[in-house]
Amino acid sequence: MEIISYIFLIIGGVFFFLGGLGVLRMPDTFNRIQAGTKATTLGAFSILIGIGFAHPSWIFKLILIIVFIAISNPIGSSVIARATYKSNHIPTNLVQDDMADRGEEK
């Protein structure tokens, strides 16, 4: 079980590293949100699963943390994206603007 735990911890660390790299390398806020949210969610899940294999008695607490992350990360990223859109920091290479036809003021 210890080896499986280490494997999940390493996978989680790699996802966190790639998420941070994506935040640094992406050209605009919308792409940064995508890279940061997806990679850090998978990284956190992997690390928590690794901890679950290392300490099976903590599994209930870890499941609660995973559920909280699964709920809060998409909400947080959508709030950041909406705030960016409303502040008129729209990228110049935007192909499709789904919010323009809603009639909302920016």
Q: Within 13 Å, how many C-alpha atoms sit on residue 86's CB side?
A: 10
State the Cα angle at 9 between 50 and 17, rounded to 5°.
140
Q: Distance (Å, rounded) from C-alpha 10 to C-alpha 50? A: 9
| DSSP H helices in the chain | 2-25, 29-54, 59-86
Instruction: Say if residues 42 and 55 touch (Cβ distance below 8 Å).
Output: no
Sequential pLDDT tens for the chain (106 residues): 899 999 999 999 999 999 999 989 988 888 888 888 988 899 999 999 999 999 999 999 999 999 999 999 989 999 988 888 888 777 777 677 777 766 555 5
Q: Where are the domains of the chain?
A: 2-88
Per-residue confidence (pLDDT) for residue 29, from 0 to 100: 83
Which pLDDT score, from 0 to 100, does residue 68 have? 96
